[in-house]
Structure 1
C-alpha cells in the first residue's frame, strides 16, 4: 500500500508544481481603453469579445473615476473572460469638478503660475499638488471609491508624477521647444504648501537656490511627495483586497529625469512602463533595452513589469510581434497596448498568433 500512496503523492505534487509554474510564467496581454457612458452594453460586450478573441487577457478602463460606470462595465468584461483594472488619472485631474472649486489645490510653476488657469503644454494639464493635505485626500478618496468595486484586479494609477520637465524628444517640434535645461515654466511645484513643507525639513527656500536643477534635496522632496501618495494608495487598495498598478515612464532613471517619478522605490504590485519608442526617436529594439533596465532596477523587489507598447508607433505587424517578444525576453510579465481604438483586426491576429507561439 505504501507504493501507491507514494505514487499518488508524487503525482499530486507534480501537478501542483506545474500549475504553480504555469501561474508564474503565463505572459499577459492587456489593453488600455477609455469608456463612454453613452455606449450601449451590447456594444461593450462586442468590444470586449473582440479583445478576448484577439488574445487579450485584461482591460485597463478609464471611466474618468466614475464608480457607477465601472460597476456597469466590470460584469460585461468578466463575462467575456477579461480581467478589469480601474485606470485613473491621478495627479493630473483635467476638468475635475470638485478640484476646480479649490484653486489652491493646484501645482504652481517656478514662474509662480498655477495649473488652475495656466496649464503647461496642453489645456488638459491640470495638476494637483501632492503635498497639500486637501488635494492628496481628494485623490486618495477617488482611489478608494474605485477600490470598493467588486470584480476589479487593481487600481491603475496614471499621471502619477509631475508635469514634464522634459518632453520626449519627438514631441518638441510640435510645441516649437528646445529643452536643453530645466525651464521655469515647466518646473513645478512651488506652491506655498510645498515651500513651507520643504523649509521645515531643510531650513531653506528653493526659490532662493542658485540652481534648482542640481539641488538634490529639492528634487528628492518632489520625488518623495509622489511616492507618499502611491504608498498611501497602496495601503488603501490592499485594505479592499485589490492590487495597485501604475502606468509609468520607461525606466526609473529616465522617469526621474523627465517627470519627477522614481517608481522603483514605490510600494506597488506592478508597473506598466510606457515604452513608446517612437516618442524618443528610438528603434524597436529599445523596447527590450528599456524593459531590461526597469527589470534590473526592480531586482530583489516583488514589483513586476508589464511593458506598454504604443500601437500607432509601430510600422507593421512584424514590429508588433518583435516588441512583444523583446518585452518577454527582457523580463516583463506581460505587455499592454495603447490603446483599444488603435488595435486593428490585423494587430489582434498578430497578438493572438504571437501569444500561441509562447506556449
Structure 2
C-alpha cells in the first residue's frame, strides 16, 4: 500500500512539473534571470502639439525599441491625461516628467515671492535669476512651497496608466557649473561664489537657526560649515521622500533625473541622491558637458551603482545625444550595459540615432 502512495506522489509531481513547463513556468530560471536592459527617452513636446504629431513620435520610439517615455508635463495633470494614452496605445511605458524645485512661470508660486530661494548675495530667484531667465527656484524650506510641489506630484500620480512621477531639477541651483559650460557664461568658479550659493531665504535661514542655533548669514565662510551643507541636502531629501510617499499612495513609482553620481551631485548642486527614497534614478552622465570622453560614462555609472549598493534603487544611465556620432552612441550604450546599469535614458535623439538604438538591442 505504501509503495502505491509513493507512486501516486511521484506521478503528481511529474504532472505538475510538466504542466509548468508547458506554460513556460520555470521558477529557478525566473529568479536568476535579470530584467531586460531598458530604453528610456525624455520627450519635451510643446503644449499645443497636435495628437497626430505625438502619435508619430511615439510610433517612432516604439519601433526603435524604446520602452519608456518621460513626458514633459509642465506638472499639468490634464495635459498628461490627454497625451499619456497616446503613448500607452503604442506600447510605451509612460512617466510624468516635471520640473520640481525650479518652477519657471509657475502661476501659483509667483503670487508668493517669499517662496523663492535667495542667494548669499541677497538675490531672490523670484526676480533676479542665476545663469538663465528660466531659473526660478522654490525654497524646499518654505512649508507652503514644499506643499505646493507635493500637490503637483499628487495631481500627476492620480493619472491612470502612468508608471511613475519623474522629478527633474530636484536640487539647488548650480553652485558649480559643469566645466564645459563655463565659457558660455564667461565664468570662473574656483570657489562657492555668493551669486550662486543658495538658499539664504528667510524660511531657510530661520529653520536652520532653530535647528542648530546659528545664524548662517553671519558666518564668515559658510562653505565650510558642514551642518549648513547637510541641512540643505536634507531639505531636498525631505521633498523627495514626501513625493515618494505620495506617488506610492497612488500606486505609482517615483523616479528622478539627477547629476552624474552622488558625490559630484553633492558638490555641484546640493543633491545626495543615494540617500533618497526613490525607485529609479537617471543620472545625466552628459560626458561632453564635463569635457570627458566616453570612458567617463563607465566611471560615473559604476560610481553611482556603488553608492546605491545598499538600496533597491535602479540606475539608468542618462546620455546627451546631440553631440554624439552614431558610432559613439553605439559605444555609449554598450558601456552602460557593461557597467551594470539597468537601462539607458536618451536626451534629444537625432534622426540617425534611431537605427543605432534599434540595432543595440
- Please give the TM-score of this superposition, normalised by the length of structure 2: 0.94
Q: Equivalents in 2 of 1:8, 1:63: separation in Å?
A: 52
The alignment partner of 2:163 has SS state of strand
Per the alignment, residue 348 of structure 1 pairs with 354
Q: CA deviation at 1:39?
A: 1.6
Are 2:323 and 1:317 equivalent residues in the alignment? no
Of the three residues 5, 18, 23, the one matched with 2:12 is 5
The alignment partner of 2:198 has SS state of coil
What are the within-5 Å matches in structure 2 for residues 193-204 of structure 1?
A: 193-204=203-214
Are 2:29 and 1:18 equivalent residues in the alignment? yes
Per the alignment, residue 245 of structure 2 pairs with 235
What are the within-5 Å matches in structure 2 for residues 45-64 of structure 1?
A: 45-64=55-74
Aligned Cα RMSD in Å? 1.3
Per the alignment, residue 272 of structure 1 pairs with 282
1:80-138 per-residue CA deviation (whole Å, 9 max, x = no partner) reads 01000000000000011111111110000001110001100000000000010110011
Per the alignment, residue 336 of structure 1 pairs with 345
Any stretches of 5+ residues in structure 1 without a counterpart? none
In the alignment of these two chains, the number of paired residues is 350
Of the three residues 138, 141, 159, the one matched with 1:149 is 159
Q: Equivalents in 2 of 1:143, 1:90: separation in Å?
A: 9
Of the three residues 172, 186, 198, the one matched with 1:176 is 186
Q: Equivalents in 2 of 1:138, 1:115: separation in Å?
A: 17
Per the alignment, residue 282 of structure 1 pairs with 292
Q: CA deviation at 1:30?
A: 0.7
Q: Equivalents in 1 of 2:214, 2:257: separation in Å?
A: 33
User: 1:277 touches 1:313 (CA, 8 Å); kept in 2?
Assistant: no
Q: Equivalents in 2 of 1:37, 1:273: separation in Å?
A: 26
- Please give the TM-score of this superposition, normalised by the length of structure 1: 0.95
Any stretches of 5+ residues in structure 2 without a counterpart? 1-7
Per the alignment, residue 96 of structure 1 pairs with 106
1:217-276 per-residue CA deviation (whole Å, 9 max, x = no partner) reads 000000000000000000000000000000000000000000000000000000000000
| Higher-Rg member (1/2) | 2
Q: Equivalents in 1 of 2:120, 2:9: separation in Å?
A: 77
Q: Equivalents in 2 of 1:88, 1:162: separation in Å?
A: 16
Per the alignment, residue 302 of structure 1 pairs with 312
Q: CA deviation at 1:25?
A: 2.3
Q: Which moved more, 1:206-215 or 1:112-121?
A: 206-215
Of the three residues 46, 49, 53, the one matched with 1:43 is 53
Q: CA deviation at 1:37?
A: 3.2
The alignment partner of 1:319 has SS state of helix
User: 1:276 touches 1:313 (CA, 8 Å); kept in 2?
Assistant: no
Q: Which moved more, 1:29-38 or 1:257-266?
A: 29-38
Per the alignment, residue 200 of structure 2 pairs with 190
User: 1:247 touches 1:271 (CA, 8 Å); kept in 2?
Assistant: yes
1:136-160 per-residue CA deviation (whole Å, 9 max, x = no partner) reads 0111100000000000000000000
Q: CA deviation at 1:331?
A: 1.5
Q: Equivalents in 2 of 1:110, 1:225: separation in Å?
A: 17
Q: Equivalents in 1 of 2:96, 2:31: separation in Å?
A: 27
The alignment partner of 1:31 has SS state of strand
